[in-house]
Structure formats: structure tokens, C-alpha cells
Structure 1
Amino acid sequence: MIVNGKEQTLTESVTVSAFLETAGYNSKRVVVERNRIIIPQSEFESTWLLDSDTLEIVHFVGGG
């Protein structure tokens, strides 16, 4: 699987939600694009990732 341009290997099937948690992302503050399609946050727990997927994860950072 490619995540933000870097290759990663999935050792087991995981949902988007589980992957984000393991990778240290706050799922409420990210946008996930899987194979060029944005996944709604409401589908993070029901969308399973494949080793052939390409993900782009964008997280929001507040500032001022």
C-alpha cells in the first residue's frame, strides 16, 4: 500500500479507522483519499484497506 507517497506493507486487513488509529492520526481531523476517491468519515469503520491501495491522508492543523 502507498500512503502519502511512501510504500507500506499491510500485515493484516484493517479498516480505514483502525489504520488511522495505529498510525497516530485523529480520525476527526483528517481527509482520506483512497485510490483517488475521498472516503466520507462516516465510512471509515466500514471501509477495508487492501495492500494494493493508494492513500493520501491530509490532516488539519490549527494556527493563528
Structure 2
Amino acid sequence: MDSKRLRPYRNEAIKAVENALIDNKRKMMLAMATGTGKTFTTVCMISLLIKSSYAERILCD
């Protein structure tokens, strides 16, 4: 992942999701302020999950 494009709070959000997955949590909610790049952060997380073979498919509700 190109961490140069990720702001510190985006890296923190991705690490929080990774830690939740390590703790076997299956449901998570990402809450960020307007204009902080929620979509970009989510796409980065999905990309990491698929590249690492942790997930084959991801359903967003």
C-alpha cells in the first residue's frame, strides 16, 4: 500500500480494522468526519484484505 497517500488518521483507521480482524471481530463500523476520505480509506482496506488473501469477497451494507 502506498502510505504516502494515506493521512495519519487513515492509517489509524486501517490499523484499527486490522486489529479487530485479529481479535476475530466480524462486524465493524468506520466513522469519520465529512470530507476525510472514508471512501478512499475503505477502498484501501478492501484492497489490502483481498491482496493478503484474508477475504475473497467483501459485502458492504
Same fold per superposition (TM over 0.5) = no
More RCO (CA 8 Å, sep 6+): 1
Q: TM-score, normalised by structure 2?
A: 0.26
Q: TM-score, normalised by structure 1?
A: 0.25
Task: Name the structure with the higher helix share.
Answer: 2
Task: Name the structure with the higher strand share.
Answer: 1
